[in-house]
């Protein structure tokens, strides 16, 4: 974890985090503070799972979740199954997204950014969703 996040993570969750696959099933990992993850887990488990798609999401997110503890140096150990899922190599990129972090393979992150840039250049921003934002 970058130094700028360490103190806050220690204060808010004693460095206890949960890593799982990305909720949008991109090839990256989502990393949550443990208290935040407990809320998400509770919400996921409260959804009636009579629909096969709901069961799949529960399996993917909950079944692949792993508690990871931040060391004093700010490191976390990502389990091999998650490293393999996200195809993480030596260089990674950590992106803060709201109440979670995303962990990407650095090269894949560059490719995603370029793809998004090209998409916005061709189609523009989704104006309805972003109309109220002053960017």
Long-range Cβ pairs for the range 68-74 (8 Å, 24+): 68/17, 68/18, 68/19, 68/31, 69/15, 69/16, 69/17, 70/1, 70/6, 70/9, 70/10, 70/15, 70/16, 70/17, 71/15, 74/1, 74/2, 74/3, 74/5, 74/6
Q: What is the pLDDT of residue 52?
A: 85
Residue 122 pLDDT level (bands cut at 50, 70, 90)? confident
Residue 133 pLDDT level (bands cut at 50, 70, 90)? low
Q: What is the pLDDT of residue 121?
A: 81
126 has a pLDDT exceeding 80: no
pTM of the model as a whole: 0.86
Q: Mean pLDDT across the stretch 56-62?
A: 92
Mean pLDDT of the chain: 90
Report, at the CATH architecture level, how domain 3-126 is classified: 3-Layer(aba) Sandwich (3.40)
Q: Where in the chain are the domains? A: 3-126
48 has a pLDDT exceeding 70: yes
């Amino acid at each position: 974890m970058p130094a700028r996040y360490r103190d806050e993570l220690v204060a808010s969750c004693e460095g206890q985090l949960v890593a799982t696959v990305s909720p949008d099933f991109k090839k990256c990992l989502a990393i949550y503070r443990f208290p935040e993850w407990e809320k998400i887990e509770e919400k996921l488990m409260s959804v009636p799972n009579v629909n096969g798609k709901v069961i799949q999401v529960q399996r993917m997110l909950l079944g692949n979740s792993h508690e990871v503890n931040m060391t004093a140096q700010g490191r976390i150990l990502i389990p091999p199954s998650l490293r393999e899922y996200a195809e993480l190599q030596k260089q990674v990129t950590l992106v803060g997204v709201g109440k979670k972090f995303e962990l990407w393979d650095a090269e894949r992150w560059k490719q995603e950014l370029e793809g998004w840039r090209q998409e916005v250049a061709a189609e523009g921003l989704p104006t309805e969703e972003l109309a109220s934002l002053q960017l």
